[in-house]
Chains A and B, each alone.
Chain A
Amino acid sequence: MKSVRNHLSLVIALVSILFSLQLYFVVERSIDAYKKNLSNNYSVIAVSKESLATEDIKAMNKLIANVAELSPDNVIKRLNSDMKNTNIELLKLSLPKFYKLSLAYYPTPKEIKELREDLLKSKSITKIEDFSHSHDTVYKLLLLFKNVVSLFALVVLVVTVLLIFKELRIWQYKHNERMTIMALFGAPLWLRSAVLFRLAIVDALIASFVTLGSFVYLSSSPWILEQFNNIGINVIVFDILNDFLMILGVSVSISILLASLIVIGHKEEV
């Protein structure tokens, strides 16, 4: 029971740090996936007096991934009942050219503004429709969600780090006695610290597996999957192998850092 208690204080602190960190990454990936979905459905319409080459339009701004010329046929179809074919051809020639620009990714409002300015630099382009109002609303909502989650993760991280520093004093006291006794019998530093580092690594492993287990459970939960499907995200937001390696790396690093702080802070008190 005492041994479980010894592990529990560090394991809980580590799990809380790892959980907030992993949650941040999952949200980041979900938002990226959602942005990709949005960017696939989002495009800008440019109106030009004369015909422009696709490559010329692409060169205007790095954000432009694809350019497609919109056919005027749909508009003309509505009028063609009363018009002769020759008149229709003349009308086609006098109509401006419409281009649908697909973007490489979901842009920020600033990037949209820059894109608009770059396109309008061309003497041929007379009008841009960037649907900025609906874009801004969606973008701000995404940003708000991301910021709220980041803030939550940061608060958890700060509170946990403060708790760890408070616990550090207790651990220092607990390990100081054993390390002093070992030093009195001539144990080298590595031997004096071995118990501490072993404990730190075991705790880091336990915390990593607990976090991994929680996220594996959550990411395969039907309710969570349904929520992701509802907003059209089908990508893997939790990559078991890579995320576990990241969690393990962070967990072991924090534990080793704490153990090192205790070893450095050790004072022989006889």
Chain B
Amino acid sequence: MDKVIVAKDLSLSYSNNEVIINKVNFSIDSGSFVFITGASGSGKSTLLKSLFGALSFKHGSLVVGGVELNNISGKKLNFLRRHLGIVFQDYKLVREWSIDKNIMLPLLINGYMKNVANAQVDKLLKHVRLNHQSGKYPYELSGGEQQRVAMARALAHNPIIILADEPTGNLDEYSSQLIWNLLEGANNQLKTTVIVVTHNIPKNLNVTYRHLHIEYGSVHEIC
């Protein structure tokens, strides 16, 4: 199976030189579903940030989707990010844009025609059960609904990897279940690699997953 992420002797630290992740080695197969867990402050979100190039590093090598992230140029990073779908705990929706425009963002960046993008947005709004909210702004929706919009945006351009940072951290049970279903669906039907940082792995998942645990700067394989 193709490796979609390969980390070799990867060390991550913040600007104060405090080492968060220390010389870790791991790889992730294409089409797999991976959970990254760990205590608060263990570095799981830091590791996820490094996967989409939001954190530069000095030591080791990290290849995501065939692109080496060490000393990556802005142009190459943009190219890589166009093939990723990212979901954040705080949704990161553009407040002054309608939810339709938010979902359309990766489509327009990837050069989709406006009419194709519009049709895709309609499809996605139905998929995340928000078609009745079309045209509304993020602040008019509940937290769970906003996270579904963020999920729709992450899925819009059929990314090769979905990176989710505690996607259900602030949500109620119903909204959380919807988010897990969407992530399962992407993995099962589209064979998208899904990497989720979370505190709690849901029990009723219909996917075979891999569990990586971060502790004291090292990555341990749990299952």
Contact = CB atoms under 8 A, between A and B. Distances in A.
Interface of A: 2, 177-178, 180-189, 191, 268, 270
Nearest to B78: A186
Nearest to B52: A184
B130 interface: no
Contacts of A181: 92-94, 105
Given A185-B109, A270-B54, 9 more contacts: A182-B94, A183-B78, A183-B81, A184-B81, A185-B82, A186-B77, A186-B106, A186-B110, A187-B105
Of the candidates A180, A186, A188, A189, the one having the most CB atoms from chain B within 10 angstroms of its own CB is: A186
Contacts of A177: 94-95
B96 A186 contact: no
Contact of A268 (B54, B83, B95, B97): B54
Contacts of B94: 177-178, 181-182
Of the candidates A178, A184, A185, A191, the one having the most CB atoms from chain B within 10 angstroms of its own CB is: A185
A54 B83 CA distance: 86
Contacts of A270: 49, 54, 88
A180 B53 CA distance: 13
A48 B175 CA distance: 105
Interface in B8-29: none
Contact of A186 (B49, B79, B95, B97): B79
Interface in B72-92: 74-75, 77-84, 86, 88, 92
Contacts of A187: 78, 105, 109
The SS class assigned to the A binding surface is helix
12 contacts: A177-B94, A178-B96, A178-B97, A180-B92, A182-B94, A184-B92, A185-B105, A185-B106, A186-B82, A186-B84, A188-B75, A270-B49
Of the candidates B52, B80, B86, B105, the one having the most CB atoms from chain A within 10 angstroms of its own CB is: B105
A179 to B, nearest CB: 10
Given A177-B94, A178-B94, A270-B49, A186 B81 contact: yes
For the complex of A and B, the 3 pairs showing the least CB-CB separation, nearest first, are: A186-B81, A186-B82, A186-B78
B15 to A, nearest CB: 12
A49 B83 CA distance: 97
Interface in B133-191: 153
A178 B79 CA distance: 19
Contact of B78 (A2, A180, A188): A188
Nearest to A174: B96
Given A177-B95, A188-B78, A182 B54 contact: no
Contacts of B105: 181-182, 185, 187
Nearest to B97: A178
B63 to A, nearest CB: 17
A189 B75 CA distance: 9
Contacts of B92: 180-181, 184
Contact of B86 (A184, A189, A191): A184
A169 to B, nearest CB: 18
Contacts of B81: 183-186
Contacts of B83: 186
